[in-house]
Amino acid sequence: MASFALHPQLAAETIPMMDLPLCKVLLMNDRQYPWLILVPQVRDAREFTDLMPNEQQQLWAEILAVQTALRDVTRPHKLNVAALGNLVPQLHIHIIARFDYDPAWPRPVWGVLPAQPYSPMEAGEVITRLRPLLDRAARSL
């Protein structure tokens, strides 16, 4: 993990939240959706199958823990969990809380609307809401 570096596009579009044992947890800087991204800190990983078996198991545990935290904080209509990577090849997993009144519903969020960055105050509020349950998730891992 010493040589892992976050892809510049992910770094530019997100706000760092915390590091779990395997993944960085990032908040997508788009106030339209509560949207977290997990990035396994493994160099050159593009697919789940590029990870070692123990890393694959840890990733799944972290996906489940983070989606539980996001669900419990936001109480969404539906969670969307996806690893796409057509544009940013570095393996990353989207975990998005969807509501039937959000601006892309019921479509997937990608490419539908330009991101609307958080104001600093809004970002602080979202992070303050998410942080305790993410900390609890981290302790469960």
Q: Which of residues 91-110 bind its own copies (CB under 8 A)?
A: 98, 105-108, 110
Nearer to its own copies, 46 or 129 (CB): 46
Q: Starting at the earlier edge strand, list the strands of the sheet with 93-98.
A: 14-19, 23-28, 35-40, 93-98
Toward its own copies, which CB reaches closer, 108 or 117? 108
Is the CB of residue 70 less than 8 Å from the CB of residue 9?
Answer: no
# residues contacting its own copies (CB under 8 A): 30
Closest CA to 110 of 137, 88, 133: 88
Q: How many CB atoms lie within 10 A of CB 130?
A: 23
Note whether 120 binds its own copies by CB under 8 A. no
- Measure Cα distances from 33 to 20, 23, 48 in Å: 22, 21, 25
Q: Which residue has the tokens 């694959």?
A: 56
Choose among 20, 10, 16: nearest CA to 60. Answer: 20
In the bound state with its own copies, the residue whose beta carbon lies nearer, of 2 and 87, is: 87
**Nearer to its own copies among residue 78 and residue 129 (C-beta):** 78
- Among residues 24 and 98, whose Cβ is nearest to its own copies? 98
- Tell me the closest approach of the beta carbon of residue 42 to its own copies, in angstroms: 15
Residues between 10 and 69 with contacts to its own copies, criterion CB under 8 A: 46-49, 56-57, 60, 63-64, 67-68
Alpha carbon 104 to its chain centroid, in Å, reads: 18
Q: Which residues bind its own copies (CB under 8 A)?
A: 46-49, 56-57, 60, 63-64, 67-68, 71, 78-87, 89, 98, 105-108, 110-111
